[in-house]
Amino acid sequence: MSSIYNANRGELLTMAVTLSAVLAQGQSQAQLAKLGAFFTIVGDTLSLYALEPGPADRTGTALSLADNL
């Protein structure tokens, strides 16, 4: 299996679908909704971090975002 950072779109899609199927096993609709919301937040936060100028400030940014909640 290749690194997630070097995977092409098809490989990423396959990994995402496989992970989703594994996580969904035995979960109720309410639990699936919570997992979906959680991973949406994770994905959105990672996308925001991608807009940051450099990796050195990521911890400070996360902490300052948490302070504003």
**Higher-confidence position of 21 and 67:** 21
User: pLDDT band for position 3 (50/70/90)?
Assistant: confident
Domain with 26, as residue range(s), is: 4-67
Is-above-0.85 flag for pTM?
no
Tell me what pLDDT residue 22 has.
97
The C-alpha atoms of residue 43 and residue 54 are separated, in whole angstroms, by: 18
Residue 20 has pLDDT above 80, yes or no: yes
Cβ partners under 8 Å of residue 11, min gap 6: 2
Instruction: Domain count for the chain, please give it.
Output: 1
pLDDT tens by residue, 25-66: 999 999 999 999 999 999 999 999 989 876 655 566 666 666
